[in-house]
Amino acid sequence: MTLTADFVGIDYLVVQRALGEWVLAGSGLPVGQVYWDGQNGKRQPGPAISMRLMSTDVYGRDWLDHDVNHISFGPLTITAVDTATGRLTITNHGLSTGDGTIQFDSTGAPPAPLVVGKNYYVVVDDANTVRIAAKFTDAMNGQPSAPAPIVIAPFGDSGTGTTTLSSTPDTMRAGREIIFKARGQRICYLTLQCHAKDGVGMEMALSILSAIQARRPLPSQRDILYAAKIAIQDIGQVRPVRMGGQVINAATFEPRAVLDIKLGLASTVTEYGTIIERADITNEVLGITCRVPQE
């Protein structure tokens, strides 16, 4: 099944899996007999339920909220120390320049003059090495125009024991200190069509869909949807499919029944922002312009 761009802000793969699980559990059908309409071009033999998600609508007004975007990592083990340059080797550290505050811990003593439990900031050299700054402005000095971080170097020694680096509860990433979230509710329509075995009449198709309708208040059924942030806004009546005004209920033709369900989905779209003000400063003698953060 392919969902449209109307589902931006909704993890539609989670929605699809949850709805399939919910219909499967409510109907009591075996695995494989509940499927998305047109999935892989296959139509399962009856009794079976085909599912289709129809168009989505915006419900009410969207709103915007924001929060501090703290990040968490570590402990990251330092495997080598370059005492001359202050470079610390941490393989595949995943850090960015300006990450902080960070702190060190050690089974012995960290490289001098680093202190266990004191706040520092990260300066990234490459994917496997970092240097350390005492202040955020030191780490970001001159960036991005003319990177010239002020780092703690050289080190007096390589330390003893195993030294690790970790985030703190206040750690943020430069340029991503705020997370904005645009939230809203979307309404979509789920249509279930049940076809029974040939020759058994309409009753089987009606009873299978009626079971889904009747079992939906059960905690096990409700929790499947809640976990995927899906709410049932309205559930229709099970009705037989008609053709030419007549109910299809012949013993020689597979009868079909339909159930329409109105669903509420939570839409959340995120974007990152910064609270760091920057200023461009020009050196009149050298003619070099650098951008520096202002605390």
Please tell me the total number of residues recorded for the chain in this structure.
295
Least Cα distance to 19 among 204, 7, 244, 161 occurs for 7
Domain span at residue 102 reads 71-175
Same-domain status, 75 and 158? yes
- The tens digit of pLDDT for each residue in 101-131 reads 999 999 999 999 999 999 999 999 999 999 9
Q: Report which listed range, 7-11, 58-62, 180-184, 252-256, is most confident.
A: 180-184
Same-domain status, 58 and 204? yes
| Bigger pLDDT: 242 vs 39 | 242
Q: What is the pTM of this model?
A: 0.63
Same-domain status, 83 and 143? yes
Q: What CATH number has the domain bearing residue 198?
A: 3.30.70.1700
- The tens digit of pLDDT for each residue in 10-47 reads 888 899 999 999 999 999 999 889 998 865 556 667 78
How many Å is the maximal CA-CA distance in the chain?
95
Same-domain status, 187 and 62? yes
Write the DSSP assignment of 91-136 as a string of letters: TT----TT-EEEEEEESSBPSTT--TT--EEEEEEETTEEEEESSH
Same-domain status, 90 and 226? no
